[in-house]
Every structure is written in C-alpha cells, then in structure tokens.
Structure 1
C-alpha cells in the first residue's frame, strides 16, 4: 500500500533561524535552511476490503511548538492518531493545537506514548485530561501507553507501527518503523537490536544535529556511518541545527543520503 511522509519540521529544539543568531545559515536566503521543530505527517489510504469507511488516514509523529503553522502549510484537515517519541518541549508542546482537528472525529483521537511521556503530557496539559472541571473545549484525545518491550507494534487503521528503541543521551526514547520507512529523531546511538529491526528499508530518517559530537544527538559523520551500516535505499537527516548549510552539506554527502527540509514529501510502501 502506498503512503507518503511529509517533513513538517526538520530543525532542532531552537529552530532555524535561531533567535539572536546572525550566522550564515540563520541569515540564508535558501528556504531549505528555514527549519521548524521536528515532526512528520504520514498519509495512507485504507484498503476498501478491510474497512467500508476507506479514506485517507493521517498519523503524526510529534507535535512541536509550530504545529499550527505546519498544519496550515501542509493542509492538514484531520488527524487520526499521534505517535510521540519522547517528552521534550519541541516534541509535545503543540498538542493543544490538535483541538479543532479532534472535534471532527467520532471518538477521541489516540495519542500513543511511553509511560514517561504520558506522565509529562498529563502534567503540562492537566486541563485536557482532568476528569473534574475539565476545560469544555479541550482536545478530544486519549492517551495510550506504548510498552517498551522489544517488538511492540501499534495497529493504526490496519498499518503496523513498530517501536524501535533509540538512545538519546542518557535516556531511551521511541523511534518508529512503518512498512518500508523508519523515523528516528533525537538519536545519539542505536543498539544492535534496533539496527536489526531496520533491515530492508526504502527510507530511513535519522538525527544529524551538526558536525561536532554532541552528548545527546548524533553528529554528521556518525549518522553517515550508521546510515551506511543500516543500508536503506534512501536516508534523510533531520533535527538539523544552524551548523549545517543545506546546499554545501548536501553536495558532500554520499550517494543515497540527503538532508531533509521542511515541506519535503516522500513516497514509500507502508503495508
């Protein structure tokens, strides 16, 4: 089954341009150097024989601070589910902007996350999830815990999203494989088990923050080495800081490896 993935954002937690910075990338006229907080939208059509209500489905991975702007730009009219990678601000703070999109759904929109992420979301968005004195126009959502055991899968309208463990500094967070694509943002390293789960990919999306090593994110050379080891047909780097200028860096990347940019849409097989 065909699917598409759109990069809603490909930047870091501070975005690019970064506030207060006048470097060459932050002042660049290349639109590919304008990077909102990292998120993707995945679209696929259900097979009619599996569901009489077959139509396009849309699954988000993360909702950063600019989600409203990203959704307007990408013409997102409804959301069927959201998968969260971890509880940092640049991945969850756009949750409240789901509100008008969830009003259209017959049932609460599921938000899938691990236990730590659920705890943080409940604390920050208490007015959404409290049972008493709940804000009347809160997002119509429900939190669904993702077990962190190896091989965990989530069935979203007939498509399996597999949890892939990702090392993010001192923490283990969540990446996802779906069909022939995988999305691993905020990654500093991968275990051998996770690498095995990424075999035979058409599209691999990896964190590549900057040229210099970083304690909680993979840097350019390390990401290139991981991409070559995993061997996907195409690899795209995301969570890119203002240290990487899209044009010059793209020219030096090995064949089959690319920098992502906001608005880029890729097609792949999802089931």
Structure 2
C-alpha cells in the first residue's frame, strides 16, 4: 500500500516527481492472517483471515505483514532516494511483492536507520535486477523489526570477497547491543585468520540518540527520533520527518512521554500533516501497545490532519472499519479521513447513562428526550457545554458483566459520534453510570440519538439490566482546587453524586442553590478535588458530582453533621426528591479534554455580572 499526497482510501501510486510512502507491512508481529484461524477454524469463521484462502495478498488489504515503511523521497534535484524503516520477519516477502510492483530499484535507508549505501556505478550495473539498500532505520530490536537483517545481503551487490560498500543502518545503542548478540556475524568487523569467506550482509552501524533534540539525516532527509514507551520498561523509537509535510511514524507504543508528545502535538511544536500510529486490537487495552480506544484518544489529543493505523491484528477489517471511521469522522468538524483520521474541535455534548437496582415504572421506561424551550435557547449558545443523557437500569446479573458489556457499548457508540466515555460503579448499591461525550447537536438530533442508544442498550444489555430512565442534562458550573477544571475522572477515583428532582418552575432556583453551595463550601470540603453541577434538559432535575481524594474524605463529609444540618434543608426548599450515592470509576476511554462553560447568569444574580468560567472534564 502506497501513500502520497494523493491518497485514495490510504492508497496511492508513487508519482515520478513526488515523494511517496509505501507501506510494506501494517500488521502486528504475528501478522494477518492469524495461523490458528486457518489451522483450527472458529465457528463462525474469522471473516478477515479466511479471505487469505481465496484472495491473493497483493489484492487483499487484510493480508498484513510486519510493520515497515518505505519512504520514496524525491529531493530538490528530482532524484529518488529510498529509505526503509524496519526489516522484520516479512522483509523478504515484502520486497518480492511491493518493490517489484512499485518499481523500487534499491533501499537507501531502513528504520533503525541504515545510511545510504554508496554503490559504485560498476556495482549497480552488475545487478540489473538487484535492489541495493542505501539507508535503513530501526525502531527497536524486536523480532518484527530486525529478523530480516540477514536478508539484506540478498539486495546488495554480489562480491566473492564481500568487498562492497556497506549499507548504513541507524539504531539506538540498546538495539545495537541486542543485535550484536542475535547477529554477531553481522556486527563483527574482521574475519578471523583461516576462516572461510561467507557471504553475509555488509552493514555500517550508526548509533542515534533516543532524544527528540538530536535529529539525524538519511539520504538528505532529516529525521527526529521520537522515544516512546513500548511497555513501561522499554523505549522504542518513532520518527518525525518531512519539512513541507510533517509526518510521524510510530509503530510500537503504549504511552507517550511528555517531551515526545510536545514535538508532535498541535498544541506543542506544531500540527502533524500525517500521523502513522500503532493500533493493536479494536477493543480493550494492552500493556505494550495502543489499542483502538487509546489510539482514538491519542489522535484527539495530538490533533493531526490525517492519521493511518498500523500494527493491526485480524480484528480489523480494512473495508468495514474504514467505512466506520469515515462515518464517524463526518460527525466531527474539519475531518479528513483515509484509513483512520479524526480532528476534534469545537464544543461537545455529553451523554450520561445510569444503571441502578430499582423497580422501574412504565413511564420511566418509555421516557424520551424533549428539550424545554429554555433548554433549546441555551443549546443554541456557542459558549455552553452540551448535555448528558441519563438512563437507569435494574441489574439482573453481576455488575461486572454489565461493566464489561458497557465497555463494548462504548466502542459501538463511536460510530454514533461519541468521542469519550467513563463508567462509574456504585460502592453501596447496584447503580452503574456511563458517560459519553458527543459533538454539539440539535435538539432533534439528540432525540434521535437517545432513541438509537436506548435501542442499542435494550438489545445488548437486556439480559443484564432493565432500562428505567434516561434524560439529557447540561453543565451548569463547577469548581476545582486549581481553579481550572470542573471535574477530573481517572480509573479508581471516588465519586459522590447528589441528584434532586423538582418542579419545572423551581429548576433554576434548585440549580442555583446547588451551585451557590458548591462555590461557598468547596474550599472547606477537605479531600475533594473538584465538583460539577448539571442541569436537566428533558426533566426538572439537578445532579451534582464531586471527585474525592479517598473514600475516607468522602465519608467524613457525608457524616459531617454541620453540612447535613444546614445544607440539606436549604435544598429541600426547592426539591421534591433527593438521592445520594458513592461511586468508583471503573473505566475511562482515554485522557481527552472536553471544554465546559458555566451557563448564563441566574435570575437571582441579575444585578451582578457573573463571568463565564471555562472548565474541563479530563479523563485519564
């Protein structure tokens, strides 16, 4: 698969006068198809892997070799240089398949970079069909990146005495030390006395620093190393290259150090034109790789113009998932997608779905979202955060199963435009709350979204819980210790939630009362990090969320007689029913940031000018 500035579904043929990227491999270390899917077929069959039995690899986008990128670099003199990143277990196979079809005559660099091979004209002419690697760059020293090193000899000119110019390879010191053990004959400089001449790849090893501040050049193209975590005990290298077009290639990553993220983020050193990024599985997480949920969050955080996914297992179906990603990206502003691209901008709507142990009544089960006139006016304001959709379920099975089901539901909602999600589980009961953020939508779109989500939940969660209630809410205001964030959610956080129902006429007064209490008492609430007030759109209710440093602080506040003595009676003046519960965060989709703003001044403050304060919901 080739990619240039004329992509069509992530594929393009190199243009003689332009640079291009040719993806020699986009699969994981075990490659696709998965052997076990063919040796011991499942029922039903794996639709991705079974394609390999009938579709030739060159026509099967789901046939994936080890990740490897060939850069066809066209310099100022209109001459082409070929720089290769990584030579894994499938190097020979990819040379046979893609070098020939794309008419690539040689390699000038390989990832763990190999400097350009300075071949003499005589050597080049002696191998009409030969490929002469000039420079290679290596990301790391794992098998899927280096086990093709021995095959470099097959693309070098033949010499009975091995007297040829070596191929430069650029790599980290750690990779060099490991390769010296794996391939000692490729590293040794001199032949021992009396030892027979054996043809082996001739390589010039060049050590590069795993430091964003120490770039190097390969075939005239500048590369900046991007050290990333490939598991918490291992540093792998990605690479940033291109002047007119900034491209970052990161094939193996589980976490980005702050210094690396700055270099490639829109909010840091500058926006990427193309991000090529690791994405192992479609769901869940992995200890040494990003999976699709984390990949999406990374893309949202870095904000590249375009993104292509690599390192994929057989869980990904090229055509289906590209269509899914394109449809998803259409819901967001300023999006151009090829294989996988998203550029999140503007305001968001938030969805909240709640599950708890209770006897649902028929009116709750059939409740649909309808915005009040006041709510519609507020939604039209460009300075307001969106809304929450709340739904209640009575649990029928273990809550662990429901949480697992909701994690899969989270991924499914991405096709509906959901950009992030969080799950809270009640510590003392069977209530579970799911949050999801959506781009800004009209009232009609939200009504349709509510019905769609309700249908999806009824179909997928019906064996574990019963839908009892759902409603939209909007962010009303918030406080935090550092003054910048209204709420911060991380896995393991302790969350307290107050919910109060009132009449339509008293809703504004109730929300103002809660916000006034939050702002007047927040500084005295020991152990809380932030608080968020939410106002009902589809029904007259209010929700207040606090994030606590520990369960001990949360209990201490609840049991404090002073706050119960004066705060509860104050709220009961406006509310018909009040509920309270404590939750633990059991799942977050990523560490994305969503902007929140306080709504317009309350009628009780009409003589004062309350400035709008901007906050964030940060999920780690």
Q: Flag whether TM exceeds 0.5 (same fold).
A: yes
Asked if 2 retains the 8 angstrom alpha-carbon contact of 1:79 and 1:109, the reply is no
Moved more, 171-180 or 22-31: 22-31
Gaps in structure 2 of 5+ consecutive residues: 1-16, 109-134, 265-269, 330-335, 341-620
Correspondence for 2:236: 173
Correspondence for 1:157: 219
CA deviation profile, 1:232-264 (whole Å, cap 9, x unmatched): 11100100011222222222224334548xxxx
Asked if 1 retains the 8 angstrom alpha-carbon contact of 2:211 and 2:227, the reply is no
Correspondence for 1:90: 144
- Following the alignment from structure 1 to structure 2, what is the Cα–Cα distance between the partners of residues 47 and 228? 34
Taking structure 1 as the reference length, the TM-score comes to: 0.87
1:213 partnered with 2:285: yes
- Following the alignment from structure 1 to structure 2, what is the Cα–Cα distance between the partners of residues 78 and 136? 23
Describe how 1:47-196 pairs up with structure 2 within 5 A: 47-48=76-77, 55-75=79-99, 76-80=104-108, 81-103=135-157, 107-130=165-188, 131-133=190-192, 136-170=198-232, 171-179=234-242, 180-196=246-262
Correspondence for 2:63: 34
Distance 1:17 1:56, change over 3 A: same
Gaps in structure 1 of 5+ consecutive residues: 49-53, 261-271
- Following the alignment from structure 2 to structure 1, what is the Cα–Cα distance between the partners of residues 106 and 140? 23
Give 1:126 shift.
1.4
- Following the alignment from structure 1 to structure 2, what is the Cα–Cα distance between the partners of residues 112 and 168? 19
RMSD over aligned Cα atoms: 2.1
Asked if 1 retains the 8 angstrom alpha-carbon contact of 2:83 and 2:219, the reply is no
Larger Rg: 2
- Secondary structure of the corresponding residue to residue 35 of structure 2: coil
Give 1:136 shift.
3.3
Asked if 2 retains the 8 angstrom alpha-carbon contact of 1:68 and 1:94, the reply is yes
Asked if 2 retains the 8 angstrom alpha-carbon contact of 1:208 and 1:223, the reply is yes
Asked if 2 retains the 8 angstrom alpha-carbon contact of 1:46 and 1:157, the reply is no
- Secondary structure of the corresponding residue to residue 137 of structure 1: coil
Distance 1:19 1:103, change over 3 A: same
Higher-RCO chain (CA-CA 8 Å, sequence separation at least 6): 1
- Secondary structure of the corresponding residue to residue 36 of structure 2: coil
- 2:32 aligned to which of 4, 13, 16: 16
Distance 1:86 1:160, change over 3 A: same
CA deviation profile, 1:134-154 (whole Å, cap 9, x unmatched): 753211211111112331211
Q: Which has the higher helix share?
A: 2
- Following the alignment from structure 1 to structure 2, what is the Cα–Cα distance between the partners of residues 208 and 257? 16
- Secondary structure of the corresponding residue to residue 25 of structure 1: helix
Give 1:12 shift.
0.6
CA deviation profile, 1:25-59 (whole Å, cap 9, x unmatched): 211367111111110100112323xxxxx731111
- Secondary structure of the corresponding residue to residue 8 of structure 1: strand
Correspondence for 2:298: 226
- 1:6 aligned to which of 14, 22, 30: 22
- Following the alignment from structure 1 to structure 2, what is the Cα–Cα distance between the partners of residues 74 and 24? 25
Taking structure 2 as the reference length, the TM-score comes to: 0.39
Number of positions where the alignment pairs a residue of Structure 1 with one of Structure 2:
255
